[in-house]
């Protein structure tokens, strides 16, 4: 915990920090999470703390997250996020792009764009977009990047290990795959239950 405090407050492991007094009691408050990446560091620490030598690992989850958003055709105040973390030596940005392309290809979504972005915990970082044929626009369906050294080294990971993380939408790719124009038709009080009952479950494309 002290290593995390130091990185945030004055910096370490090549970081200059954020110049504020990081408070442990503040970090322990219960809040509605805005993304599932909040659990990634703890998951990595718990998985690796008892390893005598590093072993490549990967973790995935699907959970609900909450945002202070204005509701419209592509935004909700609560939705689901797919979280992925992969740790290995020599893992690069090219590997991450290939992983995400293959993930969405299995869902039948092939029109993807990657855009450079800023995240405080990853560098480099990328937003992921896919084209919605009915809405006639590119829609963001995820965020991703390689975790920064000042996040990984306090956890005890070897310096030559890279970790990628990605948070992907569940609802927006579903809209794109099935030609749904409004995200509120998929989740929330306006969902038509007859639509849910009459449609088959999602199948992965070959």
Q: Residue 201: its pLDDT value, please? A: 64
Q: What is the mean pLDDT of residues 126-138?
A: 95
Domain spans in the chain, listed from the N-terminal domain onward: 1-30, 32-198
Q: Which two tokens stand for residue 39?
A: 């659990």
Q: Which two tokens stand for residue 63?
A: 């959970």
Q: Residue 154: its pLDDT value, please? A: 84
- Give the tens place of pLDDT for each residue, 73-98: 888 888 899 999 999 998 999 999 99
Q: What is the chain's mean pLDDT, rounded?
A: 87
**What's domain 32-198's superfamily in CATH?**
Bira Bifunctional Protein; Domain 2 (3.30.930.10)
Q: What is the mean pLDDT of residues 8-21?
A: 79
- Round to whole Å and give the CA distance between 23 and 195: 48
Q: Residue 167: its pLDDT value, please? A: 93
pLDDT at 124 over 80: yes
- Give the tens place of pLDDT for each residue, 133-192: 999 999 999 999 999 988 888 888 888 899 999 999 999 999 898 888 988 888 878 787
What are the backbone angles phi and psi of residue 158, rounded to the nearest 5°?
-60, 145
User: Phi/psi class of residue 108: alpha, beta or left (left: φ > 0; alpha: ψ in -120 to 50)?
Assistant: left
Of the CA atoms within 13 Å of residue 189, those in its CB half-sphere come to: 2
Contact 67, 143 (CB under 8 A): no
């Amino acid at each position: 915990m002290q290593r995390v405090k130091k990185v945030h407050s004055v910096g370490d492991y090549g970081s200059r920090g954020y110049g504020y007094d990081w408070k442990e009691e503040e970090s322990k408050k219960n809040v509605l999470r805005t993304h599932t990446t909040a659990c990634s560091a703890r998951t990595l620490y718990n998985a690796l703390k008892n390893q005598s030598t590093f072993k490549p690992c990967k973790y995935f989850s699907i959970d609900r997250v909450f945002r202070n958003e204005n509701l419209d055709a592509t935004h909700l105040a609560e939705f689901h996020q797919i979280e992925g973390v992969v740790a290995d030596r020599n893992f690069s940005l090219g590997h991450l792009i290939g992983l995400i392309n293959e993930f969405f290809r299995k869902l039948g979504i092939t029109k993807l764009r990657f855009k450079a972005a800023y995240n405080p915990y990853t560098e480099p970082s990328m937003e992921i977009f896919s084209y919605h044929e009915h809405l006639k626009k590119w829609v963001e369906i995820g965020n991703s990047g390689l975790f920064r050294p000042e996040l990984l080294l306090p956890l005890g990971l070897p310096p030559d290990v890279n970790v990628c993380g990605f948070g992907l939408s569940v609802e927006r790719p579903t809209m794109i795959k099935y030609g749904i124009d409004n995200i509120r038709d998929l989740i929330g009080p306006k969902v038509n239950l007859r639509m849910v009952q009459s449609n088959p479950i999602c199948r992965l494309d070959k």
